[in-house]
Chains A and B, each alone.
Chain A
Amino acid sequence: MTMTYAIRRNGESRSFPDGEPFLAAAAPDGEVVVLLGAPCEPDPSKTAILVELGSECLGVHTGEAAGEEGSNVLGFARYRNGDDPPSALVELVRQPNTEARALEAARAIFEAAGLTVVVSADRVGRIVDRLVRPKYNAALRLLDDGLARAEDMDLACRLGLGYPDGPIERAMRGGLAHHHAVSSALFAASGQPGDAPARAASVAAARAEGR
């Protein structure tokens, strides 16, 4: 399926920063509209409207209807650890009644750009953050407990699990204050203890705020 897409942009995008080929390949009036920070207005004449998400749910932009919500609007975010360059992974967010053709159109434009698409329900943290943030918190807590040195924990994960980097180095590189922000959003939504930001992340967030 070949799809044209238009981009409506308002400020810097975490998924597609300046210079990304995806921006240059946009058409002025595409079948799909990609909103990078621009407000979401309903437009049933479009095949799909794609809203770039931060850590919030898509429902924040579309409203919800007691679990029956869904339209031609989808959310998306390209996974990115802090200020690392965006990865090739796009998390596409659907609602229970999202139109199938909107989902397929969204998948098509991202795949045509060489990206890999996974589909998630509309939950805070989607797939990646939902899985890795508790892990960073666990690793930071184990570090506080004195289980092992940070380098040894990272080395263990690289050698034992095949990760390219360990949880501590990765959380640090992404920024502990950023980790705190995402983790806090997860914790507010889930109430799960593992999602609560680890002490070191709270310290970093307090310092970033100048407290």
Chain B
Amino acid sequence: MSAIRKVGVCGAAGTMGAGIAIVSARAGFHTVCYDVDADGLGRAASQTASFFARSVERGRMTEEAREAALAKLAPVTELDGLGECDLVIEAVFEDLPAKQALFRALDPVCKDGTVFASNTSTLSITQIASGCGREDRVVGMHFCLPAQLMKLIEMSPGLNTSEEVFDAAWAWTEAAGQTPVRTQDRPGFILNALLVPFNNDAIRAVEAGGPPPPPISTPRSRRRWVTGWDRWS
């Protein structure tokens, strides 16, 4: 059971932030969508509305659920709007000073118990948390692209993250209908640590006179690339 009721998403006009906000609202959480880009928030809101409308068309969601999810979303362009959130997930630019500055600014705005999560792909959770004033309440929560369709979340504690906070964040991901896996706080976590060298190997194999790309990797659906060995198992 998640004790988290209200969720904030920072960078909610971006690719990942908008998807994470969909995950959260769809699961019934009040979701504050914060971004510095007001126009971007407007564009994200209309894309989210289209996404939910398509979900209804395809029978993945009822009309009532669509309306309920949309009603859970609240766009804001001021940090103060995140004050009541129990969990704030940041998905702003992949830039250490930007993420550190955001968490530092959020600390006095948010409740003492609020958990901060970072969707970073490559930065250290420990470093992102450092200096924010609540280093024990910061976790790594790495969604996959597109967040609104992919179930996996790589969860990583920083060096100072308390187990209680990690467990609370973990419980929220499950309550949001996602599938968490635990990994150490290391660049690339599991997926990118394995996928990036694999992609490089595939390119090198082609350059070294192997086959043209299609036999190595074929897009199986619009949503995701299914690579390598799976096709021949």
Residues of A with Cβ closer than 8 Å to B? 79, 81, 84, 87-89, 118-121, 123, 127-128, 130-132, 134-135, 138-139, 142, 145-149, 152-153, 155-157, 159-165, 167, 170, 194
Contact = CB atoms under 8 A, between A and B. Distances in A.
Contacts of B186: 147
Contacts of A148: 181-184, 190
B150 A160 contact: yes
A159 B151 contact: yes
B196 to A, nearest CB: 10
Nearest to B154: A156
Interface in B9-52: none
A89 B232 contact: yes
Nearest to A148: B183
Contact of A149 (B182, B193, B230): B182
Contact of B181 (A128, A131, A152, A167): A152
B232 A131 contact: no
30 contacts: A87-B232, A87-B233, A89-B232, A120-B210, A121-B210, A127-B205, A127-B215, A130-B210, A131-B201, A132-B229, A138-B193, A142-B193, A145-B184, A146-B184, A147-B189, A147-B193, A148-B183, A153-B194, A155-B179, A155-B181, A156-B189, A160-B154, A160-B190, A160-B191, A161-B224, A163-B227, A163-B230, A167-B194, A194-B197, A194-B201
Nearest to A84: B233
A157 B229 contact: no
B184 A147 contact: yes
Given A88-B232, A149-B182, A161-B226, A131 B193 contact: no
- Chain B's interface size range is 35 or more
Contacts of B150: 159-160
B58 interface: no
A138 B194 contact: yes
A145 B211 CA distance: 34
A113 to B, nearest CB: 15
Contact of A147 (B190, B210, B220): B190
A66 to B, nearest CB: 16
Contacts of B181: 148, 152-153, 155-156
A120 to B, nearest CB: 6
Greatest chain B CB density within 10 A among A138, A148, A149, A194 is at A148
B211 A164 contact: no
Interface string B192-232: 01110110011001001111000110001000111111111
Contacts of A153: 181, 190, 194
B109 interface: no
B152 A156 contact: yes
A200 B202 CA distance: 24
Contacts of B65: none
Given A152-B181, A160-B152, A135 B230 contact: no
